[in-house]
Every structure is written in C-alpha cells, then in structure tokens.
Amino acid sequence: MSISAVQKSNSTIDSNMLRTGLKLCGPKGFFLKPYASSFELSCHYASTNPAANVQNLPRLPVPKLSETLDKYLKTVRPHLNDEEFSQTTKLAKAFESGIGQKLQSLLESRAEKHLNWLEEWWLNTAYLEYRDPVVVYSSPGLVFPFRKFTNQNEQLQYAAKTLLAVLEYKSLIDRNQIPTEMMGKNPLDMSQYRKIFGTCRIPGEKRDKLSYNDSKYVTVIHNNHIFHVDLWGEDGAILDEEQIKNQLKKVMELSKSRTDKGIGILTSENRDTWAKAYNLLIKDDVNRESLADIERSLAVLCLDAPVDVWKCPDKNARQNLAAAQTIHGGGPDSNGCNRWFDKTVQFIVGADGITGLTYEHSPAEGQPIAVLTDYIIQYIEQGKKSTTQSAKPKDPILLKFNINNEVTQMVTTAKTNLNRLADNLELNCFTYEKYGKNFIKTQKMSPDSYLQMAMQYAFYRLHQTPGAHYESAATRMYVGGRTETIRSCSIESIEFAKTMLNAQSSAKEKVQAMKNAINAHKNYTVQALQGLGVDRHLLGLKLIALENGIEVPKIYSDAGYIKSAHMRISTSQVACKCDGFMCYGPLVPNGYATCYNPRDNDVNFATSSFASNTETDCGKYRTALEQSLQDMHDVLLKSTQSKL
Ligand code: COA
C-alpha cells in the first residue's frame, strides 16, 4: 500500500473514536466481531509475523513534519522559561526548514518499504537493546483478586484451574476464535495475542532476541527448582484438573527444600550480565538442553512460598505486598529466585493466596494480558470442570544444571542486585472507592482524561512544578501497531492545577479550567491513537538519521526535548473487569509510575517511586492523588448545585 493510500485510509478512521475510545471486551463482550476469515489462514508462526497483514489493516502513517513540530512546541512550553522556549522554537524552525526535510523524506521511503515503519525499531530500542534488568524497569506485574488458601491442596487446585484456563484460552487463540477488538468501528491488530504463549526473551550482549514456540508443557518453579510439566499425556489426551494437580503435587514432593543455587535469579540481572552468564551456561550440553526446555514451554507457573498475606492489616497492605511479589518476587529471600523473568508470562500462585502474573513486556502490551486475566478469573469463578482425561500422564522432570564456580558467583551477585532493586521500589497500591467511571461519565467527561488530569494536579500540588507525563495510547488500529505517547502535561493541565490551588478561584473558574485541561488531553489522545503524536515521529527521525550516518540534529539535545521527555509521571490505563491491577516501576529516578484500572464505581491505582530518590515520595503522591480526585468531585458537584 502506498503512502497516499495510507493517508486515505487514515481519513476514514471513525470519528466515534473521540467518544468511544478503545473498546476492549472479553469473549462475552458486545463490541466484538469474529476474526475476518482471512485471519484463519494463519498458522502459529505466520500469525506472529505481521508482515502477512492478515487482517488487512491500514499502515502506521508518517505524520507531517510541520504538524509534529507545532504539537511539540505546545508540549514543551510548560517545562521551559521564556528564554529556553525561544531557543527551542528557533531550533524547531531550523529543523523544519533544514535537515528535518531530508529525514522526513527518508522516513517516508522507509514507510513505503515496511508494513509498519516503527515496529522493528521500537521492539529493539524500547526493549531488546535496553540493558537495565527487565525486573522493575520493564516487566509489569498483574495482581489478581486475592484468595485465601488454607492448605496446599487449595493452592494446587487453583494453580491447576489457572493452567486449564490458559489452555482453553490458547486454544481459542490457535483456532482464531478470540474476537477482534474494536476502537469505534476500527478493528485492532490482534497479533499480540499470538505472542503471549510459548515466547521467551533470550539474552544477548547489546541486544536480546525473542524466541516464539509452540509446545504442550509448562515450566513449573517451586523452591527455586525448575521442572518440565507436560499437560498432555503419553496418549495425546489433555490432563484434567485432578491430574494437573497431582503433577504439581509431585513437583512439590521432588523439591521439598529450597535451593540457593536456583539459576532463575540470573534472569533478573542487567541484560549484558545475564547474557554473559547465559553464554557460559550453554557451553554445557545439560544446561543447553534445560535452557531450551524453558525457552520452548508455553509459560511459567511459579508455586510460591507463603508471605503472610492474611496478616496484613488491610487491603492496601495486601495490595502492596502482592504488587511486590508480582514485580520482583519480594527479593531473593522471598520468591525472587522462584522466577524465570525472560518468559512472556509467569503465573504466580502463592501458598497463602497471592495470585497474579509477571509479564515480559517486549512481545505485547498490557491490555491483551488484562483480557487474558479476566478470562482466567471468569473460568475459575465459574467452577468449570474439565471433561477430558488422559490415561497416561507423564511424570514431571526436574531440569538439571551444571553450575561452575563462576556461575555460582554470578548467582550470588544477582541476589545482591535483586535485593537492592526490590528495596529501592516504593509501592503504594490502593482502591479509590469514592467513585469510578460512572460518576465521571455523568459529568459528560472522558474518564481516562479526567484521571490523567487528576494525576497532573496531584503532581503539581506536591512539587509545584510541571511534571512531564507519559501515557500509553494503543496504535493497534494499524498493522503491527504498539503504542504512541500521550503527552499529558499541557499548558491547560498546569493552568488547571494552578486554578484548583488558588483559593481566590471560583467553582465556576475551576470547572472551566478542568474542562479545558480534559479537552486538551482528549484531543491529544485522539491524535495519538491515530499515530499522530510527537514522540514516535521524533524517534523515527532520529533513528533514520543514525541509520544514514547523519549527525543527530541539535533539537534532540535541547532543553525542550530533554525536559519534555524526562517523564516524571509514567502512566498506563490497563483495564480489567476483575478487582485486579497492573503495576510497574517509574521511568526516571525522580519519577512516579501510575498504572490504573478504572472500573464503574472505583479505580485501582498502583503507584511507585524509588526510595533512594529524595525528591519523590510515593505515600505523599498517593495522598495528593486522592485529595485531587476528591477536590475535582467536590467542585463539580458544587458547580452543578449552584446552577440549580
Ligand atoms: N461523556 C460521557 N462518556 C464518555 C465521554 C464523555 N465526554 N468520553 C468518554 N466516555 C465514555 C466512553 O464512551 C467509554 O465508555 P464505555 O465504558 O462504555 O466503553 C468510557 O467513557 C471510557 O472512555 P475514555 O475514558 O475516554 O477512554 P478509553 O477507556 O477509551 O481509554 C486510552 C483511552 C487512551 C487509555 C485507550 O484508548 C488506550 O489506548 N488503551 C490502551 C492503553 C495501553 O496500551 N495500555 C497498556 C500499556 S502496557
């Protein structure tokens, strides 16, 4: 498809999107339609490769240079003084009339040759070349609703049901029966669903790679020992719940004591460090086979040790504990060694009732994982019984590793490093119970934009300075689409925060400032969903310069670029129907993360910051956020009452 054809297809993007946004529904939702029949052509491998464009989706556009730069100048304004702004404006104008034109035309040529000009670049720069540990810095946790297990049988029964739900869901994916998600009238790219199971990130020096596989077994980790557990019997029939439970029981019997030589901890390391250890390990045939076994499995199941979750004083404390367990396993002395962080999904079933998952972010966004979560929870709550039964289950196999002194030393260092990482992550996860999406809708406002502006207001009230603010918007209406950044900090959001904090402002002025801020955010969102934001385009222009040996233009080292891209608030809406939430670490040392699940009558928030940073304080940020939500609610009601 040519560029002009792309632009044509963009112009047909449904205008309802402004109101409806991304409709994500589980298999029983109302906004779903079955896959187009062409999708059914795909085999597992072909369908993980969007080059086939089996859904016949439009291609990610290259935005117009002048439009991106206009938008850019608006978004840098809150972060700059007059002198800095004048310098940034000068640089942007020089870029637009100078080297920017050449880069733009090179980027347009790339877009003609690739179905999605960004996809491979993004996978590499945002994930596979990123060298910090995936733990805390990249892989989110997802906390499922709490359970109370009083004995091992209950833990294993829940784990067996989770695996059966996973198999049922995978079978829907394989049979192309996951309904296509829609944004307004636009179907979304569903290829991420095919990358959830069987995928493993393999460490490499400078750049990791992804390995896509299909298999009939899972990796189970207990007491830091790693097992191969078949979910099909020798006769080719699938195991039923009781049989899977028995397999897991055997795993526990074979690993009664905890090993301090578990090598799973190495996957929590800096990626170059882990790559070095990996290269040492694979020199040995036994190790190579064991590593390949983990790589090919469908997913990991972590049968975790108890963490006294029911001794926590309240739900808030339980949520913090569970978030820590799903992000970093609570450090090496808790369940941090009972993990294989390279696997796309690891399901966590803790002995006393923390359940959830950790997911390696590179192959997919959080939303497909949240849809999977709702499926699992619904499956378990329905109390469905599996019907098939294999006559001949295969025994679990303990994976063996030959570990020399050098690797033992690396395991010790990895434990120290994970301890440090875990200690440094402050979490404050809570359910905001006073209202949810329904109240915001009654005010005729977009819930997402409203919540984003509450975060802007909270940050400003706490730090009295604008906070550059990242929100992910899905660009999955395009083939191979991932995300674009919504720059939530705007001239209007700062004006709103100032008006709210000004004791002299009337309720009417406050409501007007709120509406202006929400509308500005919504407008940016609509553009970002169409791939017309600032960040991915500027990234593309920079990468095309590097690829062509052109000096990176000055605009990228200027205060405007640096300050507006130093995302002090890193946020993402990950919506699931169950009472769960996703959680992750901040993007920058002096930043906060806020992942949120807005439900009809409440909102689950997971906030975090780094303990070592003296500027930030997660507890204070949470308080400011709650106060801001309360103030916004009160001023809206006050203004409605004064109209009556
Ligand atoms: N008045 C009344 N109702 C309104 C409204 C208004 N002015 N504006 C929106 N609404 C309604 C919508 O119709 C929608 O209704 P529904 O609950 O019946 O579906 C609901 O409010 C939510 O809409 P809104 O809050 O505006 O946006 P959204 O839920 O579509 O979310 C994004 C916006 C950007 C978060 C979403 O499009 C997206 O991209 N999500 C994926 C993010 C992502 O990738 N996360 C994972 C990263 S790892």
- Residue ranges of domains in the chain: 4-124+428-643, 134-177+215-424
336 lines ligand 1 (CB under 6 A): no
Same fold? 4-124+428-643, 134-177+215-424: yes
Residue 525 Cβ < 6 Å to ligand 1: yes
The rounded Å distance from CA 183 to ligand 1 centre is: 10
Known catalytic residues?
Answer: 361
Confidence of residue 47 (pLDDT cuts 50, 70, 90): very low
* Cα 598 to middle of ligand 1, angstroms: 9
pLDDT higher than 80, residue 38? no
Where are any strands of DSSP class E within 248-320? 300-304
Calculate mean pLDDT across residues 442-463: 98
pLDDT grade for 49, boundaries at 50, 70 and 90: low
Q: Give me the mean pLDDT over the 592-597 stretch.
A: 98
Probe target for ligand 1 pocket from 441, 449, 472, 532, with the most ligand atoms within 8 Å of CB: 441
Does residue 448 line the site of ligand 1, with CB under 6 A?
Answer: yes
Is there an atom of ligand 1 within 6 Å of 300 CB?
no
Q: Is the pLDDT of residue 118 over 60?
A: yes
Q: pLDDT digit string (tens) for 288-305?
A: 999 999 999 999 999 999
Handedness of CA 569, 195, 271, 328 (dihedral sign): positive
Which residue has tokens 């029983």? Answer: 28
- Look at ligand 1, atom 35, and give the residue with the nearest C-alpha: 573
Cβ-Cβ contacts under 8 Å for 205 (sequence gap 6 or more): 272, 275, 276, 279
pLDDT surpasses 70 at 355:
yes
In angstroms, the CA 354 to CA 487 distance is 34
Quote the pLDDT of residue 51: 56
- Of 65-69, 402-406, 593-597, 640-644, the range with the lowest mean pLDDT is 640-644
Ligand 1 contact, 516 CB (< 6 A): no
Residue with the larger pLDDT of the pair 261 and 122: 122
Residue of 15, 17, 19 with the most ligand 1 atoms within 8 Å of its CB, for mutation = 19
44: pLDDT confidence band, cut at 50, 70 and 90?
very low
Mean pLDDT of 22-35: 30
How far is ligand 1, taken at its centre, from the CA of residue 474, in Å?
Answer: 11
In total, the chain counts a number of residues equal to 644
The per-residue pLDDT for range 241-285, each reduced to its tens digit, is 999 999 999 999 999 999 999 999 999 999 999 999 999 999 999
Closest approach atom of ligand 1 to CA 370? 46
User: Is pLDDT at 24 greater than 60 in this prediction?
Assistant: no
- Residue-wise pLDDT for 481-537, tens only, equals 999 999 999 999 999 999 999 999 999 999 999 999 999 999 999 999 999 999 999
pLDDT in tens, 68-105: 999 999 999 999 999 999 999 999 999 999 999 999 99
Q: Measured between alpha carbons, how far is 257 from 607 in angstroms, rounded to an integer?
A: 35
- The residue among 470, 475, 482, 190 whose CA lies nearest residue 365 is 482
Ligand 1 lined by 483 (C-beta under 6 Å): yes
Mutation pick for ligand 1 pocket among 20, 449, 636 (CB with most ligand atoms within 8 Å): 20
CA of 150 to the centre of ligand 1 (A): 39
**Rounded to the nearest whole angstrom, what is the distance from the C-alpha of residue 509 to the centroid of ligand 1?**
26
pLDDT of residue 52: 77
Provide CB contacts within 8 A for 61, sequence distance 6+.
3, 6, 7, 10, 111, 478, 530, 531, 532
- What is the residue with the minimal CA distance to atom 32 of ligand 1? 473
CB-ligand 1 contact for 10 (6 Å cutoff): no
pLDDT at 21: 39
φ, ψ for residue 304, nearest 5 deg? -90, 155
**What are the φ and ψ backbone dihedral angles of 279, each rounded to 5 degrees?**
-65, -30
Q: Which residue has the higher pLDDT, 31 or 327?
A: 327
- What backbone torsions phi and psi does residue 483 show, to the nearest 5 degrees? -140, 165
pLDDT more than 90, % of the chain: 89
20 lines ligand 1 (CB under 6 A): yes
Q: Whose CA is nearest to atom 26 of ligand 1?
A: 446
pLDDT band at 640, cuts 50/70/90? confident
E-state strands within 318-387:
345-350, 355-359
Between the CA of 347 and the centroid of ligand 1 the distance, in Å, is 28
State the maximum Cα–Cα separation within the chain, in Å, rounded to a whole number.
Answer: 79
In whole angstroms, what is the distance from residue 110 CA to residue 542 CA? 13
CA of 22 to the centre of ligand 1 (A): 6
Question: Is pLDDT of 39 > 50?
Answer: no
pLDDT (tens digit per residue) in 369-402:
999 999 999 999 998 777 777 789 999 999 999 9
Distance between CA atoms of residues 583 and 122, nearest Å? 22
Confidence of residue 6 (pLDDT cuts 50, 70, 90): very low
Determine the atom of ligand 1 nearest the C-alpha atom of 582.
48
Instruction: Tell how far the Cα of 353 is from the centroid of ligand 1, in angstroms.
Output: 32
Ligand 1 touching residue 390 (CB < 6 A): no
CATH of 134-177+215-424, one of 3.40.1280.10, 3.30.559.70, 3.40.50.1010, 2.40.10.120: 3.30.559.70
CA distance 215 to 297: 6
pLDDT grade, residue 644 (50/70/90)?
Answer: low
The answer regarding whether domain 4-124+428-643 maps to CATH 3.30.559.10 reads yes
pLDDT value of position 391 = 81
Per the prediction, the chain carries an average pLDDT of 92
pLDDT single digits (tens) 553-584 = 999 999 999 999 999 999 999 999 999 999 99
Based on its alpha-carbon atoms, the radius of gyration of the chain, rounded to whole angstroms, reads: 25
Determine the atom of ligand 1 nearest the C-alpha atom of 445.
7
Ligand 1 atom closest to the CA of 444, numbered from 1: 1
Q: Cα–Cα distance between 459 and 497 in angstroms, integer? A: 9
Spatial separation of the C-alpha atoms in residues 85 and 91, rounded to whole Å: 10
